[in-house]
Amino acid sequence: MTSLQNDKEATMRAVVVRTPGGPEALTVTEVPIPAPGAGQVLVRVEAAAVNPVDVATRTGMLIDAGLMSPRPVIGIGWDVAGRVDGVGEGVTEFAVGDRVIGLRDRLDLSIGAYADYLVLDAAALAPAPHGLSAVEAATLPLNALTASQALDLLDLPPGGAVLVTGAAGALGGFAVELAAHRGWRVVANADASDEEFLRAAGAEWFVPRTDDLADAVRRLVPGGVGAAVDAAVLGLPVLGAVRNRGTFVSVVAGAAPTPLRGITVREQWVAADGAALARIAVLAENRRLTIRVAETFPLAHAVKAHHRLTEGKLRGRLVLVP
């Protein structure tokens, strides 16, 4: 049952793409408010983060890469924070009014998180972190889950060394903090201006991105690091910093290098996981994760938000607010 009392005439706004292209391909349309099915939850969206994958969706890159089938209407947006507005049959862990965060990881749907309402499986949701606004909480699901799941792929002993590239980005920053939380020693690679932030985030060592990465890392960690998370999609230079038979994880499909020197090379494909997201939320509310919001935009200004994203030089996420 929903607070809308299943009003079939009720509509909402959703930002969609009908013809892939630039930011202007994003259009605001009126659609019926969806009803949650069995095992699902209807979320009234209070904030939705803007991510680079949204650009890849909007431009048709995911279709070209074979990751998404062509559709007449394409939904946009993965990250959501909001309140439960209705629950489907069998849902007992959430109730109307609960604050939640979640990840929409399915690319075969016509409605994404850029909307007034969103239906997700209950298993994709977690209680929102206490003490964080919806805008702040919306920056967690995609990037923190991707970072956590990438770290799960590493075969590192306690105290092992891991390299994180793109360490000052949303994904890389969470990877640094989560790796340090697991007791690993972190080498962070980013712009020189980000060193202070990354050391505070838990990085033991720092390598500016202008340095020769493999040489610099091997001077710090003789023989190379045991593992690397390549959030900056640098490929081979990162592989050169990893010891023989270490582990390399790429967070972008198709960007992984050849597994030289017996290195295990893996690609991380993020998956919604409410239980893991709940653990991340607890870390966030205990200030063990750094929340960075660059700017907010009204939902109706999604085009402006995408223009701002393409300008770059952001330290934090853009967030849409319905």
For 80-105, the pLDDT digits (tens) are 999 999 999 999 999 999 999 999 99
Expressed in angstroms, the distance from the first to the final Cα of the chain is: 23
* Strand extents, DSSP E, 191-234: 205-208, 225-230
Spatial strand order in the sheet of 264-267: 205-208, 185-190, 161-165, 225-230, 242-250, 264-267
Q: Give me the DSSP letters along 59-90.
A: HTHHHHTTSS---SSEE---EEEEEEEEE-TT
For residue 198, the model assigns a pLDDT of 98
| Three-class secondary structure of residue 5 per DSSP | coil
Contact criterion met (CB below 8 Å) for 178 and 197: no
Q: What tokens appear for 300 in the block?
A: 């109706």
The pLDDT > 70 percentage for the chain reads 97
For residue 5, the model assigns a pLDDT of 44
For residue 7, the model assigns a pLDDT of 53
For residue 19, the model assigns a pLDDT of 96
What's the CA angle centered on 30, arms 24 and 33, to 5 degrees?
Answer: 130
What is the fold, at CATH topology level, of the domain defined by 154-267? Answer: Rossmann fold (3.40.50)
pLDDT value at 33 more than 80: yes
For 182-209, the pLDDT digits (tens) are 999 999 999 999 999 999 999 999 999 9
The pLDDT > 90 percentage for the chain reads 92
- Give the DSSP H or E segment for 309: helix 302-311
152 to 123, 175, 228, 247: CA distances (angstroms): 19, 11, 12, 11
For 126-180, the pLDDT digits (tens) are 999 999 999 999 999 999 999 999 999 998 999 999 999 999 999 999 999 999 9
pTM recorded for the entire structure: 0.94
For 217-233, the pLDDT digits (tens) are 999 999 999 999 999 99
What's the CA angle centered on 214, arms 288 and 162, to 5 degrees?
Answer: 25
The CATH architecture of the domain made up of 11-142+272-321 is Alpha-Beta Complex (3.90)
Q: Structural domain boundaries of the chain?
A: 11-142+272-321, 154-267
Residue 55 phi, psi dihedral angles, 5° rounding = -65, -45
Distance of CA 160 to the CA centre of its chain: 25
Q: What is the mean pLDDT of the chain?
A: 95
d(CA 285, CA 282): 5
Residue type, 83: R
For residues 102-116, average pLDDT: 95
Phi-psi map region of 254: left, alpha, beta (phi>0 left; psi -120 to 50 alpha):
left
Radius of gyration of the chain from Cα atoms? 20
For residue 201, the model assigns a pLDDT of 97
Q: What tokens appear for 92 in the block?
A: 């007992």
For 276-320, the pLDDT digits (tens) are 999 999 999 999 999 999 999 999 999 999 999 999 888 899 999
